Chains A and B, each alone.
Chain A
Amino acid sequence: MFKILGDTGEHLVVELDGDEVTVPAGVSVAAALLYLDRIPTRHSVVNGLPRAPYCMMGVCFECLIEVDGVVDQRACQLQVRAGQRLRRQLATSKVESA
């Protein structure tokens, strides 16, 4: 559904939910998840509803994701890095949330 604007053609490999995936270099984690169409990116801890990146500028806290073992990171505020371990906070996966 989404495509990368100004694609440099450079890619890198990150780990998403235990699988190695290739994403464009230089984009945010949220943009990478949208690009990969891995939606929802989490389920609400309050009511279990599926959520996805929304504001893309750090204010709505909808795109929370586990990054390198730390939960509730805003995916829109982090750039993808090679070898990064990303885990969506889905109701079906084990979320070590507070």
Chain B
Amino acid sequence: MPLQSRQNYDTLIVGGGLVGAAVACGIAATGAGVAVLDGGDRDFRASRGNFGLVWVQGKGADFPAYARLSGVAARQWADFSAELEDATGIDVGLQQTGGYDFCLTGDEWQQREWEMRQVALHTGGEFEYQMLDAAELRQRIPEVSGEVLGASYSAADGHVNPLYLLRALHQRMHDLGVNYAPGQVVQASRRHNDEYVVSTLQQDYRAAKLVFCAGLSNQRLCRDLDMHIPVQPLRGQLLITDRVPVFLPAATLQVRQTREGTLQIGDSHEDVGLDESTTLDVITRLAQRAVRIFPHLAAVRVNRAWGALRVMTPDGVPIYHQSAEHPGAYAISCHSGVTLAALHAREIANWICSGAQDSLIAPFSAERFNV
């Protein structure tokens, strides 16, 4: 793709995954000149291995601001997806009919109940949930096995097709005139007078503002501007089955049924460094757990499995960081690029455009790690 000859932008965004693309859309919509420097296809890309949940329940149980932020983000999803479809013609397949998280042991149930209560407390009751016992649960989803003790349920949750979301955001970026530069290898970033210069193997880019949304690379890239952004890879493995008749009325944390009938089985978390391979033991455990919850899945064939590296911060909470030493330099790192997509395209984009403080976002500065 030929790049425009222009090299000076209002805002440069490093990273073109779900986070970078959503932020780019929001900033470009104000009329600002935006360039997105993206990596290559072989880079680690959480956005392409995603489970696709819009998920609120349990988030921020011990970080009140995150509980509030997740609620604000999820409540905007219906409107955001309608806006995206109007603008791009792409339906990202939002189904926001609630979400279930199954409990197989008494310990799981107790832990869950505590988390739900905390989140409700932190949001002044805006987050509503139910703890469903086995009988109530099977009334809603008859396929659930007798082994399941119950589930937590929140009407705020849902799911989308994350690949359609990424595609829709990229289409929108393109339509808004964002200069998208794929295959960039960022070498160094520096501040020069009142502008930032990002040197890639290909060329130098200059802008008044610079936003790092580079997933696992944020830690390394942000160092150039003295920002300490601690992120770690967390591997998730996923199984994909044949298409089966629709039996799930809503999203669950363990199994997601796509609009096409495919089942995605996930819910694994491993700290294994930069290794995105699949392993037989985890695949087996995922399949066994799915069958323990839904016995009829024993007859369903698994077609594919993959591993993806997701982005994790030390406390599991997003980082929205503005450099104190270098005004106009920002870092964004989060685990939930789907849930937070509307927030990134709106509140976060406005925060970056205005340069002002925002009480919703201020608690997420990376300063919290410097204690």
A-side residues, CB < 8 A to B, are: 44-46, 61, 64, 72, 97-98
Enumerate 21 A-B pairs (CB-CB under 8 Å) in ascending A order: A44-B243, A44-B261, A45-B243, A45-B261, A46-B243, A46-B245, A46-B259, A46-B260, A46-B261, A61-B242, A61-B303, A64-B242, A72-B242, A72-B301, A97-B244, A98-B244, A98-B296, A98-B297, A98-B299, A98-B300, A98-B301
Does B360 have its Cβ within 8 Å of any Cβ on chain A? Answer: no
Which chain B residue lies CB-closest to A45? B245
Output the least CB separation between A82 and chain B (Å): 26
Which residue from B243, B297, B300 sits with its C-beta under 8 Å from A61? Answer: B243
User: For the complex, is B246 an interface residue (Cβ under 8 Å from A)?
Assistant: yes
**Residues from chain B with Cβ under 8 Å of A72 in the complex:** 242, 301
CB distance from B93 to the nearest CB of A (A): 13
In the bound complex, CA of A72 to CA of B243 (Å): 9
Distance from B107 Cβ to chain A, minimum over Cβ atoms (Å): 32
**A44-B261, A46-B260 provided; 14 other pairs, C-beta below 8 A?**
A45-B244, A45-B245, A45-B261, A46-B243, A46-B245, A46-B259, A46-B261, A61-B242, A61-B243, A97-B244, A97-B245, A98-B299, A98-B300, A98-B301
A residues near B243, Cβ cutoff 8 Å: 44-46, 61
Q: In the complex, A45→B261 CA distance in Å?
A: 8
Tell me, rounded to whole Å, the shortest Cβ–Cβ distance linking B77 to chain A. 23
Interface residues of B in 225-248 (CB under 8 A from A): 242-246
- Give the distance to chain B from A41, nearest Cβ to Cβ, in Å: 14
The answer on a CB contact under 8 Å between B242 and A98 is yes
Please report the C-alpha to C-alpha distance between residue A72 and residue B261 in the assembled complex, in whole angstroms. Answer: 13
Min Cβ gap B134→A in Å is 23
- For B299, the closest partner residue in chain A by CB is A98
Which residue of the partner chain B has the closest CB to A70? B301
Residues of A within 8 A of B296 (CB): 98
A20 to B246, CA, bound (A): 34
C-alpha spacing A48/B299, complex, angstroms = 21
Measured between C-beta atoms, what is the minimum distance from A53 to chain B in Å? Answer: 16
What B residues does A97 contact at CB under 8 A?
A: 244-245
Contacts of A64 in B (CB 8 A): 242
Contact residues in B for A98 (Cβ distance below 8 Å): 242, 244, 296-297, 299-301
Closest to B242 in A: A72
**Which interface residue of A44, A46, A64 has the most chain B CB atoms within 10 A?**
A46
Q: Nearest Cβ distance between residue B110 and chain A, in whole angstroms?
A: 34
Report A-chain residues with C-beta under 8 Å of the C-beta of B245. Answer: 45-46, 97
- How far does the Cβ of B299 sit from chain A's closest Cβ, in whole Å? 4
* Per-residue A-contact encoding for B301-315, CB less than 8 Å = 1, 0 else: 101000000000000
**Once bound together, how far apart are the Cα atoms of A44 and B260, in whole Å?**
9
How far does the Cβ of B264 sit from chain A's closest Cβ, in whole Å?
Answer: 15
CA of A44 to CA of B245, assembled, Å: 9
- Please provide the chain B residues from 250 to 309 with a CB less than 8 Å away from any CB of chain A in the complex: 259-261, 296-297, 299-301, 303
Alpha-carbon gap, A76 to B264, bound state (A): 24
Minimum CB–CB distance from A64 to chain B (whole Å) comes to 8
